């Protein structure tokens, strides 16, 4: 990956993280957590697993940890784990339809929200948040490929 693509993707992920923070502040009363950043990472990792590897996931995770002021390594470890799972099961995922891929990535988001909720707010964990976030991720991932194609059309990723 070229340095210009690397910087461009870093800026895109920071912008998605900012959008996530704003949307989460709005949806907090409805018990929904949005994860556009995580869905975009899943999309990029699935689209081109040769360029989006676990080191890139760790780097982006550390940048998001710094941006969101969350303890260091939470996003990095979960992003790295997700990229490793997607790269390991890449050929199996390619056999799925778009609906099945959307469901799989929505389950990833459900795990991400649940794991993050357990670590950040142990006494305030709610299964309803994980359940509703799964459905919000399902609807969101229907839009992420079109947004991703629009944002990445200038690069070779």
pLDDT digits (tens, 9 = 90+) for 90-130: 988 889 888 899 899 999 998 988 888 888 877 778 888 88
pTM to 2 decimal places: 0.89
The predicted-structure confidence for 26-62, as pLDDT tens digits, reads as follows 988 888 888 899 999 999 999 888 888 899 999 999 9
pLDDT at 117: 83
Nearest partner of 85 among 59, 62, 53, 61, judged by Cα: 53
Question: What pLDDT score does 120 carry?
Answer: 80
58: CB partners within 8 A, 6+ apart: 76, 77, 79, 80
* Averaged pLDDT of the chain: 88
């Amino acid at each position: 990956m070229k340095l210009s693509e690397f910087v461009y993707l870093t800026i895109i992920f920071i912008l998605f993280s900012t959008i996530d923070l704003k949307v989460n502040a709005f949806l907090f009363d409805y018990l929904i957590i949005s994860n556009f950043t995580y869905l975009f990472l899943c999309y990029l990792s699935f689209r081109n697993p040769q360029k989006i590897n676990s080191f890139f996931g760790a780097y982006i995770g550390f940048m998001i940890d710094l941006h969101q002021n969350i303890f260091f390594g939470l996003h990095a470890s979960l992003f790295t784990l997700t990229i490793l799972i997607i790269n390991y099961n890449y050929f199996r995922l390619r056999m799925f339809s778009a609906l099945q891929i959307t469901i799989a990535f929505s389950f990833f988001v459900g795990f991400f929200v649940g794991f993050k909720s357990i670590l950040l707010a142990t006494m305030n964990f709610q299964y309803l948040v994980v359940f509703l976030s799964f459905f919000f991720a399902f609807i969101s991932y229907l839009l992420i490929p079109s947004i991703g194609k629009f944002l990445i059309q200038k690069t070779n990723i």
